[in-house]
Amino acid sequence: MSLIVQKYGGTSVGSIEKIRNVAERVIEMKKKGHDMVVVLSAMSGETDKLIRLAQEITESPNPRELDVLVSTGEQVSVALFSMAVQSLGFKASSLLGHQVKIVTDEAYGRARISEIDTRRIMEEIRKDKIVAVAGFQGQDEKGNITTLGRGGSDTTAVAVAAALKAQVCEIFTDVEGVYTTDPNICPKARKMKKISYEEMLEMASLGAKVLEIRSVEFAKKFKVPVHVRSTFTNKEGTMVVQEDKSMEKILVSGVTYNKNEARITITKVPDRPGIATKIFVPISDAGVVVDMIIQNTSEEGLTDLTFTVPKNDFKKTMNIVKKVAKEIKAERVMGDENIAKVSIIGLGMRNHAGVATTMFSALAKEGINIMMISTSEIKISCVIDEKYTELAVRTLHSAFHLDEEPK
Ligand code: ADP
Ligand code: ASP
Ligand code: MG
């Protein structure tokens, strides 16, 4: 007998009928003799709805109260799911973050899990119950409710699986696994049988929202086998596993896009020591995470500086930067919210030259201008005009032969 953690996302529990379907699926596993811990997201659209309600009251809701509010979506799901299991004649118990004791830091809205107490979950399992754990939420040391950031139920699931030393963590969603790119925008996307933690980390951080990035960090750190699969079929999905030799043979394994960033340029910035600190310290003090940064070579002691920030933080950052620009006597601050970042990811890139040129010429052939470029060992990202995102993704998918099965 083994312990299995399953996580069902918002679309999988989007209606009463769907919750019943999930209950039936979990009961099937229970009947086979497995101990079942089920992590659930809020019903689809609920978290957005709660955020909208808060914003109707104020543009910048108090972070503590916002977490108290948005965590309720998951509370509804676990309660309804437990009732569904019980109505089918099996035992179940719902547990909220603070009831399990999922301890996090105090960073409301993006809290990190520091500890999970497994005792209460194990107690319920020993009573032969199916345990439903609310995703996305925890409590800090003082007992305040915290949430883990959008998509955070994935992280709850993998962290719970790690703490319970589960045999596997199954992530059930509305697609059949991890694809070479988002199957909802590229019809030729292919489901991968397996993907390494490293590649999945890059894909998640570069926009493939099928797994939330921290869930992959947890999986990698604690070597949790993660199986991403569909709630609506019984097909095998994608295993996220440790890297093996065969994986390096594939040059590029995935293409991602991210439309959630904005670009800020400051022109004619004095090029002398200390200026970057003057610009970026107030931005990070405001809790804004800067992604790409490009500085041009300077002419007559002046340079242009361009960087990207999350779209949500765009207005706030523009206000900060305009103030600093005045102080340092830079010329102008320009902002652009209509950008997208497209990226290619692959372990094989480590040992191959020419990948970047293939990417640039494929985009050029379609007349897509590259505004910014950044690279790391296993990825290359380009910032482009947002309106070309879908075209760029499909073009890169073909250029790196991802439309076809690997030989
Ligand atoms: P859930 O509500 O189950 O957590 P999400 O919406 O967070 O589901 O994630 C699933 C979605 O991720 C898919 O519907 C798909 O559009 C998107 N996605 C983006 N990139 C990929 C990819 N490479 N493979 C699979 N799905 C992807
Ligand atoms: N309900 C939360 C969200 O919409 C968490 C999740 O679905 O994983 O972001
Ligand atoms: Mg998700």
pLDDT in tens, 265-317: 999 999 888 999 999 999 999 989 999 999 888 788 899 999 999 998 999 99
**pLDDT for position 1:** 66
Across residues 79-87, what is the average pLDDT?
A: 98
Q: Does the CB atom of residue 42 touch ligand 2 within 6 A?
A: yes
**pLDDT for position 251:** 85
Q: What are phi and psi of 310, to 5 degrees?
A: -60, 140
Percent of all residues in the chain with a pLDDT value above 70, rounded to a whole number: 100
Q: How far apart are CA 397 and CA 148, in angstroms?
A: 32
Across residues 353-380, what is the average pLDDT?
A: 94
Residue entry with tokens 């003082």: 142
Out of 136, 182, 185, 203, mutate this one to test ligand 1's pocket (max ligand atoms within 8 Å of CB): namely 182
Domain spans, the chain: 3-174, 243-407
Q: Is 138 helix (H, G, I), strand (E, B) or coil?
A: strand
**pLDDT for position 359:** 96
CB-CB contact of 309 with 261 (8 Å): yes
Q: How far apart are CA 91 and CA 95, in angstroms?
A: 14
Q: How far apart are CA 91 and CA 372, in angstroms?
A: 55
Considering the domain 243-407 in this protein, what is its CATH number? 3.30.2130.10
pLDDT band at 204 (very low <50, low <70, confident <90, very high): very high
**pLDDT for position 250:** 80
Name the superfamily (CATH) of residues 3-174.
Acetylglutamate kinase-like (3.40.1160.10)
Q: Does the CB atom of residue 11 touch ligand 2 within 6 A?
A: no
Residue 124 alpha carbon to ligand 2 centre in Å: 25
Closest ligand to C-alpha of residue 151 is 2
CB-CB contact of 135 with 189 (8 Å): no
> What confidence tens digit (pLDDT) does each residue in 136-163 have?
999 999 999 999 999 999 999 999 999 9
Q: Does the CB atom of residue 155 touch ligand 2 within 6 A?
A: no
The answer to whether domain 3-174 and domain 243-407 are alike in fold is: no
Indicate if the pLDDT at residue 59 is higher than 90: no
Indicate if the pLDDT at residue 194 is higher than 90: yes
> What confidence tens digit (pLDDT) does each residue in 325-335 have?
999 999 999 99
| pTM for the model | 0.93
The total number of residues written for the chain in this structure:
407
Nearest CA to ligand 2 atom 4: 47
Residue 186 alpha carbon to ligand 1 centre in Å: 13
CB-CB contact of 102 with 66 (8 Å): no
Q: How far apart are CA 237 and CA 247, in angstroms?
A: 17
pLDDT, the chain, mean: 95
Pairing of strands 194-196, 332-336: unpaired
Q: Does the CB atom of residue 151 touch ligand 1 within 6 A?
A: yes
Residue 39 alpha carbon to ligand 2 centre in Å: 11
Q: Which helix (H) or strand (E) holds 301?
A: none
